[in-house]
Amino acid sequence: MEQGFQLFPRQASTFATHVDRLYLFLTGISAFFSVLIFGVIIVFAIRYRRRPGHEAIQVEDAFSLEILWTAVPAFLTLGIFVWSSSLFLYQSIPPKGARDISVVGQRWMWKIQHSNGRREINELHVPSGQAVKLTLTSQDVIHSFYVPAFRMKQDAIPGQYRTLWFEATTPGEYHLFCAEYCGTNHSRMTGRIVVMSDVDYQSWLGGGMEHTPVETGKQLFTQFDCASCHESGERRRCPTLGGLYGTQVELESGQKVLFDESYVRESVLDPNAKVAKGFPAVMPSFRGQVSEEQMLDLIAYIKSLAPQQQRELVEGANR
Ligand code: CUA
């Protein structure tokens, strides 16, 4: 990790140089205009001070001057808007094929699970040179996932899923902070990001013999007896879930909602909030029975169900 005094943290992600460039531009332009304005105030105060024999004159019709001081700031601010919003969009939309990792903030630690099921706490191992997508939520209060070297910060909000992505460029260790006051040990809610070469990461990832989120989700699906209703073909009282992920679900009201992480989560905790059209509101709530980590596993399992798989299950039940 970095040593001694540094004006900027190290640049260790693909965003870092872009963010720093924009930051330096904003600082530079603010400094330039501050110096200009204060310089002119001082020069004019001396040059045009009250003296005997000098009268103030009212200046009128300075049209070109008006245009100048309207157009210059307008173009500058528009330029800043375009520049910063394109950077914001670049940071907001994870590229396809990014490696999925889930992060749950809980007073006062970060719980992380990789796509093969390997878990860690307050440490995040990632390969360098690859896009990594984090799905972020909180078990209790608002936390904020902050990695200065990546120029990346995102709130972890209870009841919501936020995604963020990055591509680490340089192997090494970097600080992870919680950047939202979350109680007594907020200042200790820190960790480290370990960026490794792809080969090292693969061997690290293989080091833990654990179930993948999909496998754990499947177990939970059985444990909570979801299948008794959601998978049987004939006595089907609930929608089959295969292939639904990412599609639009029609509700009784005719309104359509996206079947995504948030919809699954809401339907597990508050099943009657948005019941799919044509189905009775018979599902019990699982509030208090499913932790945020289990919820992410359940979602991973439901996500993994292909339409075909579900059709086979249904056909199997019909036979
Ligand atoms: Cu978690 Cu501050």
pLDDT in tens, 61-117: 888 889 998 999 999 999 999 999 999 999 888 998 888 899 999 998 999 988 887
pLDDT at 82: 97
pLDDT at 309: 52
* 156 Cβ closer than 6 Å to some ligand 1 atom: no
59 falls within a domain: no
Tell me the pLDDT of the chain averaged across its residues. 84
**Does 131 share its domain with 170?**
yes
CA of 178 from ligand 1 middle (Å) equals: 4
**Does 110 share its domain with 226?**
no
pLDDT at 124: 93
pLDDT at 177: 94
**Does 28 share its domain with 84?**
yes
pLDDT at 310: 47
For the ranges 180-189, 196-205, 306-315, the one whose mean pLDDT is highest:
180-189
Question: CATH number for the domain including 257?
Answer: 1.10.760.10
Nearest-atom index, ligand 1, CA of 108: 1
Question: CATH number for the domain including 12?
Answer: 2.60.40.420
pLDDT at 169: 92
Domain boundary among 183, 209, 235: 209
pLDDT at 300: 83
Return the closest-CA partner of residue 14 out of 187, 272, 195. 195
Q: What is the pTM of this model?
A: 0.70
Mean pLDDT computed over 13-19: 91
58 falls within a domain: no
**Does 268 share its domain with 248?**
yes
* 181 Cβ closer than 6 Å to some ligand 1 atom: yes
* 176 Cβ closer than 6 Å to some ligand 1 atom: no
* Higher pLDDT pick, 261 / 46: 46
**Does 176 share its domain with 126?**
yes
**Neighbour-count burial of 114, counting CB atoms closer than 10 A to its CB (0-12 exposed, 13-18 middle, 19+ buried):** buried
**Does 138 share its domain with 258?**
no
89 falls within a domain: yes
CA of 191 from ligand 1 middle (Å) equals: 12
Nearest-atom index, ligand 1, CA of 142: 1
CA of 156 from ligand 1 middle (Å) equals: 9
Q: Among residues of the chain, what percentage have pLDDT more than 70?
A: 92
* 196 Cβ closer than 6 Å to some ligand 1 atom: no
209 falls in which pLDDT band (50, 70, 90)? low
Domain boundary among 190, 209, 228: 209
**Does 237 share its domain with 192?**
no
Nearest-atom index, ligand 1, CA of 182: 2
315 falls in which pLDDT band (50, 70, 90)? very low
170: containing domain: 1-46+64-209
Taking CA atoms only, the protein residue closest to ligand 1 atom 1 is 143
Q: Are 198 and 47 in contact (CB under 8 A)?
A: no
- Structure token pair of residue 32: 């330039």
CA of 16 from ligand 1 middle (Å) equals: 23
CA of 173 from ligand 1 middle (Å) equals: 21
How many domains does the structure of the chain reveal? 2
Q: Where are the alpha helices (DSSP H) in the chain?
A: 14-47, 63-92, 198-205, 213-223, 227-230, 261-269, 292-304, 307-318
Return the closest-CA partner of residue 133 out of 160, 89, 97, 104. 97
**Does 244 share its domain with 125?**
no
* 189 Cβ closer than 6 Å to some ligand 1 atom: yes
135 falls within a domain: yes
53 falls within a domain: no
**Does 129 share its domain with 236?**
no
**Does 82 share its domain with 175?**
yes
What digits encode the pLDDT tens for the residues 21-54? Answer: 999 999 999 999 999 999 999 999 999 888 888 8
30 falls within a domain: yes
Domain boundary among 156, 189, 209: 209
**Does 173 share its domain with 37?**
yes
261 sits in the region (left: phi over 0; alpha: psi -120 to 50; else beta) called alpha
251 falls in which pLDDT band (50, 70, 90)? confident
* Higher pLDDT pick, 225 / 196: 196
* 109 Cβ closer than 6 Å to some ligand 1 atom: no
* 48 Cβ closer than 6 Å to some ligand 1 atom: no
148 falls within a domain: yes
**Does 152 share its domain with 174?**
yes
5 falls in which pLDDT band (50, 70, 90)? confident
pLDDT at 231: 67
286 falls within a domain: yes
pLDDT at 126 over 80: yes
